[in-house]
Amino acid sequence: MDSVRLDKWLWAVRLYKTRTDAAEACRGSAVRINNVIAKPSGKVHIGDTVIARTKAITKTLHVVGLTEKRVGAAALPEYFEDRTPESEFEAAREKQANAKLFSHKGTGRPTKKDRRDIEKLIGPDL
């Protein structure tokens, strides 16, 4: 096998959950091969550098193997080297920590504690 469709390879190496997600990421300019925006039908060759933006992080991968079939997580090192800078992982951790700090309290349905506090304010059954 000399080359593989980009969307198939991204799905096979578990970068995206579905092949459709991988294709949409390519169409949305979230995936680059050798610093060139790639189409889903673009070909991946051994030695290419793939930069793919997911929801949480932008990963930089060096292709060392090709596959069209989804592989287990333990077999992933056979297909790519992860060259993602540590700063990307730090930024993702920081973003996740900030999301927890700034959650919108009080939206949605009241909790059991909220209901009890409201009943204390209103008084006994009316």
Q: What's the whole-model pTM score?
A: 0.76
**In the chain, domain spans:** 4-122
Please give the full DSSP string across 26-66, using - where no structure is assigned.
HHTT-EEETTEE--TT-EE-TT-EEEEE-SS-EEEEEE---
Block residue for tokens 């990963």: 59
Contact 51, 35 (CB under 8 A): yes
Mind listing the pLDDT tens digit for each residue in 1-53?
A: 899 999 999 999 999 999 999 999 999 999 999 999 999 999 999 999 999 99
CA end-to-end distance (rounded Å), the chain: 76
Superfamily holding 4-122: RNA-binding S4 domain (3.10.290.10)
